[in-house]
Amino acid sequence: QVQLVESGGGLVQAGGSLRLSCAASGRTFSSYIMGWFRQAPGKEREFVAAISWSGFSTYYADSVKGRFTISRDNAKNTVYLQMNSLKPEDTAVYFCAASSRGDYFNLAEFDYWGQGTQVTVSS
């Protein structure tokens, strides 16, 4: 069992930056693929970024590539999402999730989810 708690969301102007954190409980954090997803009002939850258990492999949605960076610190049981050059269309609730399976992009393959943190980007 893994419990996830996100933090770091807030209100920022377009072009600004935010860093989201996701703290995980449990001793097996380093064995999970970790991902960030987001859900805007009236839209489906979508993939944003994912990182392998080792941190060596990372994956991004085209919409955030070059602006967002996912990283993890297995010693601290924490995964991060650095978001730069934010746009109003990045406004959403951001969720972190953990997967014990091999699919980085499919939210159905992620077993554990945090409660989400709101990110609002004003124009």
d(CA 102, CA 31): 11
Is there a contact between 7 and 18 (Cβ–Cβ < 8 Å)? Answer: no
Tell me what pLDDT residue 30 has: 85
| pLDDT profile of the chain (123 residues), mean per 10 | 94 98 89 96 97 95 98 96 98 96 88 96 96
Task: Report pLDDT for 101.
Answer: 86
- What was the pLDDT predicted at 29? 86
Asked whether 79 and 24 are in contact (CB, 8 A), the reply is yes
| DSSP states along 53-113 | TTSS-EEE-TTTTTTEEEEEETTTTEEEEEE-S--GGG-EEEEEEEESSS-SS-GGG--EE
Q: What is the dihedral of CA 21, 23, 28, 31, to 10 degrees?
A: -10
